């Protein structure tokens, strides 16, 4: 038993009662006076006092036992109520599933409306601009990659330009102009490729296309001219071995003028410098052109559609995962509850029943020991009384043994609040096994019903996927 120790009755001390009432002296005194008389029907005062003291002892033990039994009976009642109440119901799982289904259905219906609206906008854009393909949607990964390419190109060209120009125009000017040219070739090209080249290629006609074409022509001319000038500076240095100041360059007559690059005798390194600059500008231009959809605005207009498509897929996936968790939780909770009921609560209940049964058995032993003790005190009294009686009379009632009232001998009558908690023999174990079997049967039925309900929910998810399978 958990939290309590077994109840122990005090031992009935016949000798102590005999001393308290001075039984032997009273027996001798009564005998010398011829008490009780031969025709007496009632016990003598000494015998009655011995019986009263014995019953008082028994009553005090009964009171003490009842006080101890109070919390035990309450605990048993609480355990019985807990064990017998319904523990497993599919309704709880149904409530959780229906709540998730309702939330998911609301989200899916809303996103489906958004998807179809955006789909119409995309189709209208396609027809308006005669586009025969789906738009390109830029993801975060592709955006990082393409931006990374631009940064990498800028870094590499800055380093290469500095290495090739440092000896020709000095380290300070080489660093300044290498990064400036790299910025023009890479960063400016990226801006032009994204904002200008897309329109110049995809717009069929109109003043906007002409303006963009003109801008591209100027841009290409400037980029090629600047890179050729840098190549010429390197060529002049290799020929004269004299550093050239870019800030001092001017367009004038004469030979070896970098601004008139076509007048310079080019070598391999100057060609490499010019080629690298133009190549990096071209790569950056193409990279920016391919960023998002090449047709201006086409990728952006389809972004909301794809967001709705993604949200629909995620919602279906989330509801499926949530439902799996609900069923797993219900199965796990059901198994835990069954384990706690059988391994903890039933074991505790069995222990409490055992303690009540043990108390009943010990009380019966105590009641009979008091009955024997009373008879032994009566025999002591009557033996001494008879020895000193002058008349030699033996009252007739002395021939009868004292028998305690059934009210005292029957524990059920002395502990009425314990009716239904006393199980003699092996009946406790039989009752516990019966309750355990009932619990397992109820749990098995719960598992069966839960699995059956899950089949219905799984079918609903399949139908949901088919309905929202958007192309």
In terms of average pLDDT, the best of 33-47, 163-177, 188-202 is 33-47
Say how far apart CA 266 and CA 238 lie, in whole Å: 9
The more confidently predicted of residues 444 and 131 is 444
Look-up: residue for tokens 């009780």? 36
Length of the chain: 471
Which residue spans within 63-220 are E strands per DSSP?
none
Q: Following DSSP, what letter does each residue of 160-175 receive, concatenated? A: HHHHHHHHHH-HHHHH
For residue 133, report the phi and psi dihedrals to the nearest 5 degrees: -150, 165
For residue 261, report the phi and psi dihedrals to the nearest 5 degrees: -60, -25
The more confidently predicted of residues 90 and 248 is 90
pLDDT of residue 248: 47
pLDDT of residue 362: 93
pLDDT in tens, 344-396: 999 999 999 899 989 999 999 999 999 999 999 999 999 999 999 888 888 98
Q: How many CB atoms lie within 10 A of CB 17?
A: 21
Using alpha carbons, select from 164, 274, 154, 298 the residue that is nearest to residue 224. Answer: 274
pLDDT at 166 over 70: no
Annotated domain spans of the chain: 14-94+314-467, 139-291
Q: How confident is the model at residue 244 (pLDDT cuts 50, 70, 90)?
A: low
Average pLDDT for the chain: 84
The more confidently predicted of residues 343 and 6 is 343
pLDDT of residue 245: 56
Mean pLDDT, range 136-153, rounded to an integer: 75
pLDDT at 35 over 80: yes
pLDDT in tens, 298-329: 677 777 788 888 898 999 999 999 999 999 99
Say how far apart CA 261 and CA 232 lie, in whole Å: 5
Q: Are 239 and 256 in contact (CB under 8 A)?
A: yes
How is residue 418 annotated by DSSP? G
Q: How confident is the model at residue 168 (pLDDT cuts 50, 70, 90)?
A: low
Say how far apart CA 392 and CA 395 lie, in whole Å: 10
Q: How confident is the model at residue 262 (pLDDT cuts 50, 70, 90)?
A: confident
> Ramachandran region of residue 206, left (φ > 0), alpha (ψ -120 to 50) or beta?
left
pLDDT of residue 458: 94
């Amino acid at each position: 038993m958990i939290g309590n120790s077994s109840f122990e009755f005090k031992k009935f001390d016949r000798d102590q009662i005999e001393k308290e009432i001075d039984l032997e002296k009273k027996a001798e005194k009564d005998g010398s006076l011829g008490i009780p008389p031969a025709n007496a029907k009632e016990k003598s005062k000494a015998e009655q006092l011995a019986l009263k003291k014995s019953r008082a002892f028994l009553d005090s033990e009964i009171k003490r036992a009842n006080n101890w039994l109070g919390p035990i009976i309450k605990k048993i009642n609480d355990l019985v109520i807990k064990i017998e109440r319904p523990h497993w119901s599919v309704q709880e799982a149904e409530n959780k599933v229906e709540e998730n289904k309702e939330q998911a259905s609301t989200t899916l219906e809303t996103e489906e409306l958004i998807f179809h609206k955006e789909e119409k906008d995309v189709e209208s854009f396609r027809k308006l601009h005669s586009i025969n393909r789906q738009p390109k949607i830029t993801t975060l990964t592709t955006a990082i990659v393409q931006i990374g390419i631009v940064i990498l190109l800028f870094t590499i060209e800055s380093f290469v330009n500095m290495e090739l120009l440092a000896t020709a125009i000095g380290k300070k000017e080489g660093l300044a102009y290498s990064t400036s040219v790299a910025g023009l070739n890479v960063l400016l090209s990226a801006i032009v490729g994204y904002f200008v080249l897309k329109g110049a290629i995809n717009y069929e006609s109109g003043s906007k296309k002409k303006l963009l074409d003109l801008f591209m022509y100027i841009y290409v001319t400037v980029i090629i001219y600047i890179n050729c000038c840098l190549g010429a500076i390197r060529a002049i240095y290799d020929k004269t071995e004299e550093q050239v100041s870019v800030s001092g360059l001017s367009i004038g007559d004469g030979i070896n003028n970098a601004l008139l690059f076509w007048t310079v005798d080019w070598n391999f390194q100057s060609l490499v410098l010019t080629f690298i600059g133009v190549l990096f500008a071209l790569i950056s231009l193409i990279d920016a052109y391919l960023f998002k959809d090449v047709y201006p605005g086409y990728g952006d207009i389809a972004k909301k559609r794809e967001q709705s498509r993604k949200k629909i897929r995620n919602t279906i996936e989330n509801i499926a995962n949530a439902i799996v968790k609900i069923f797993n939780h219900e199965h796990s909770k059901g198994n835990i509850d069954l384990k706690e009921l059988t391994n903890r609560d039933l074991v505790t209940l069995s222990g409490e029943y055992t303690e009540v049964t043990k108390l009943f058995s010990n009380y019966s032993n105590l009641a009979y020991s008091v009955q024997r003790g009373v008879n032994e005190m009566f025999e002591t009294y009557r033996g001494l009384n008879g020895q000193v009686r002058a008349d030699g009379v033996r009252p007739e009632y002395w021939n009868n043994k004292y028998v305690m009232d059934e009210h005292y001998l029957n524990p059920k009558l002395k502990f009425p609040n314990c009716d239904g908690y006393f199980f003699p023999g092996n009946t406790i174990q039989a009752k516990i096994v019966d309750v355990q079997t009932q619990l397992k049967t109820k749990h098995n039925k719960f598992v069966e019903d839960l699995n059956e309900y899950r089949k219905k929910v799984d079918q609903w998810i399949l139908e949901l996927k088919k309905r929202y399978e958007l192309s």
